[in-house]
């Protein structure tokens, strides 16, 4: 048996009958009872623990579904496989309603990590610090926008002179943020690749960067990277939890965080998108 299959056997309590690599970090492992689980390896310290805690926190809301978590051990995370289906409007409407319920489940503070999750977590491959705060504009600027802006400048993806427009947006956030809202329970990395359309007709969410935040951030990320039947998702959401007036004008503000993360990870193209979003928000 491999080290991977040993971990799976310990966490599931079942013997392993087969393994299939999906990528360097992912594999499907078949158990002796015929069930298939997905094994994910991450060598970033605490990443598996953070992801497991995030999935459990999302599941605890009893709204949006996630794959069952068998456990984490060191660099390994073991979850159920989700048989794939096709996107559909009815599933999208349900997903929107369920996402509203997830957000309404709330969090103790902006930046609060999931119970049992480390403060030093990740969004994709980028480190993400979960440091609680009470004021969303101040927290979003200090804990989500500026750390990645500094990293992008330090690595040369953004020029120092270009950072001023993003810094100006951060200064204006109290005016740009819209009505104050309580901390929502966020998936935190809600791009279309983390939205699985399952064969049973429901959506499952994977790979969270879960934390307490502003609910419009999850929705802005869905729009930024595209999502099948997005308008149906938003329709279902608004039927349950209408968004505050002017939310469409704030989409760019909430997209700034993931754009800067992607600038740090993937380069100049995302930096230019972030600058465009910041300029648009600052100039109105």
Q: Does 184 share its domain with 60?
A: no
Angstrom distance (rounded) from CA 158 to CA 152? 5
Write 232-237 long-range contacts (CB < 8 A, 24+).
232/89, 232/92, 232/93, 232/96, 233/92, 233/93, 233/95, 233/96, 233/99, 234/96, 235/93, 235/96, 236/92, 236/93, 236/94, 236/95, 236/96, 236/97, 236/99, 236/100, 237/96, 237/97, 237/99, 237/100
Q: What pLDDT shows up at residue 1?
A: 61
Residue 65: what pLDDT? Answer: 97
| 48 and 123 both lie in a single domain | no
Q: Are residues 108 and 136 in the same domain?
A: yes
The neighbour count for residue 179, using CB atoms within 10 Å, is 8
Same domain, 95 and 61: no
Cα–Cα distance measured from residue 134 to residue 64, given in angstroms and rounded to the nearest whole number: 26
Exactly one of 98, 189, 207, 218 is catalytic; which is it?
A: 189
Annotation says 98 is catalytic: no
pLDDT by residue (tens digit) across 178-198?
A: 999 999 999 999 999 999 999
Which of 56, 80, 104 is at the close of a domain? 80
- The range of the structural domain enclosing residue 29 comes to 3-80
pTM: 0.95
Alpha-carbon gap, residue 94 to 98, rounded angstroms:
6
Mean pLDDT of 131-152: 97
- The mean predicted confidence, pLDDT, of the chain is 96
Same domain flag for 101 and 194: yes
Q: Contact 189/224 with Cβ under 8 angstroms?
A: no
Domain boundary pick from 45, 80, 115: 80
Q: What is the mean pLDDT of residues 10-19?
A: 94
Same domain, 113 and 217: yes
How does pLDDT run across 87-98, given as a tens digit for each residue? 999 999 999 999
Q: Which of 22, 55, 80 is the last residue of a domain?
A: 80
Tokens (6 digits) for 75: 């660099």
Q: Which residue has the higher pLDDT, 225 or 7?
A: 7
The Cα–Cα gap between 185 and 182 comes to 10
How large a percentage of the chain has pLDDT more than 70? 100
Same domain, 197 and 98: yes
Write down the pLDDT at residue 27. Answer: 93
**Distance (Å, whole) CA 155 – CA 158:** 8
Number of separate domains in the chain: 2
Residues 124 and 242 in one domain: yes
């Amino acid at each position: 048996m491999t080290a991977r299959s040993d971990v799976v056997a310990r966490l599931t309590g079942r013997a392993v009958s087969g393994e299939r690599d999906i990528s360097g970090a992912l594999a499907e492992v078949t158990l002796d009872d015929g069930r298939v689980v997905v094994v994910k390896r991450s060598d970033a310290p605490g990443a598996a623990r953070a992801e497991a805690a995030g999935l459990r926190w999302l599941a605890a809301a009893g709204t949006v579904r996630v794959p069952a978590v068998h456990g984490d051990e060191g660099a390994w995370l073991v979850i159920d496989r989700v048989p794939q289906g096709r996107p559909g409007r009815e599933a999208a409407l349900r997903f929107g309603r369920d996402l509203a319920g997830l957000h309404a489940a709330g969090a103790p503070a902006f930046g609060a990590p999931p119970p049992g999750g480390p403060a030093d977590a990740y969004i994709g491959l980028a480190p993400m610090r979960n440091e609680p705060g009470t004021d969303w504009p101040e927290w979003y600027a200090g804990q989500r926008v500026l750390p990645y802006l500094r990293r992008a400048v330090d690595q040369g993806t953004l020029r120092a002179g270009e950072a001023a427009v993003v810094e100006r947006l951060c200064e204006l956030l109290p005016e740009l943020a819209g009505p104050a809202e309580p901390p929502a329970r966020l998936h935190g990395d809600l791009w279309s690749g983390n939205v699985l359309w399952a064969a049973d007709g429901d959506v499952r969410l994977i790979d969270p960067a879960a934390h307490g935040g502003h609910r419009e951030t999850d929705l802005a990320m869905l729009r930024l990277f595209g999502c099948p039947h997005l308008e149906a998702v938003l329709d279902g959401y608004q039927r349950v939890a209408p968004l505050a007036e002017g939310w469409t004008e704030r989409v760019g503000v909430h997209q700034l965080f993931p754009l800067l993360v992607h600038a740090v990870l993937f380069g100049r193209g995302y930096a230019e998108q972030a600058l465009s979003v910041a300029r648009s928000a600052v100039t109105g």
